[in-house]
Structure 1
Amino acid sequence: MIYDDDVKKRLRRIEGQVRGVLRMMEEQKDCKEVISQLSAIRSASDRTISYILTHNLEQCLREEFQKGEAADTKKILKEAMDLMVRSR
């Protein structure tokens, strides 16, 4: 799979958020602020997982359709749904 610049930007942003939370902890910031930032990180991570899954699923389905009658799109969709459920 090819991971485009958008995915990398998302992950770098998450990385920056994590560093920010660590700094907040070192500065003894209020737990509400820390938890709020951690929640934002989780949300950004979930959106990134969804983005990667969606784009890879599209590519996998295209490749499977090229196989013609031997295509097993149901299997690919099931694997994608299992990944989404497992990531929660």
Structure 2
Amino acid sequence: MQYSKELMNRLKRLEGQVRGVIRMIEEEKHCKEVVSQLSAVRSATDRAIGYIVAKNLESCILEAKEEGRDAEDAIQEAVNMMIKSR
């Protein structure tokens, strides 16, 4: 699977969020602010995981159809990846 520029941009924003949290900790910001930002990082990470799994699933389903195979295994694998990421 080839990763898109959109995914790379998402991950770079996520990287910036993590750096922001580190800076907040270094500046001894209130724990509520830090936890709030960490929650945002977690949400962004979950969205990135969902994006990767969805794009991979799309690719696997198209490949299975082209080869005349059932896509059920690819779908089950995607579901398992989503469950493990939680």
When the two structures are superposed, what TM-score results if normalisation uses the length of structure 1? Answer: 0.95
Moved over 4 A (4+): none
Deviation, structure 1 residue 33: 0.2
Deviation, structure 1 residue 52: 1.0
Q: Hey, what's the Cα distance between the residues in 2 that align with 1:4 and 1:41?
A: 20
Across the aligned residues of Structure 1 and Structure 2, the Cα RMSD in angstroms comes to 0.7
Give the corresponding residue for 1:25. 25
| Structure 1: runs of 5+ lacking an equivalent | none
Deviation, structure 1 residue 72: 3.2
| Structure 2: runs of 5+ lacking an equivalent | none
Give the corresponding residue for 2:62. 62
Give the corresponding residue for 2:72. 74
Q: Hey, what's the Cα distance between the residues in 2 that align with 1:75 and 1:55?
A: 15
Deviation string, structure 1 residues 26-79 (Cα, Å, up to 9, x no partner): 0000000000000000000000111111111111100011111xx131111110
Q: Secondary structure at the match of 1:29?
A: coil
Determine what percentage of the aligned residue pairs are the same residue.
Answer: 53
Q: Which amino acid aligns with 1:11?
A: L
Q: Which amino acid aligns with 1:47?
A: R
Q: Hey, what's the Cα distance between the residues in 1 that align with 2:71 and 2:59?
A: 12
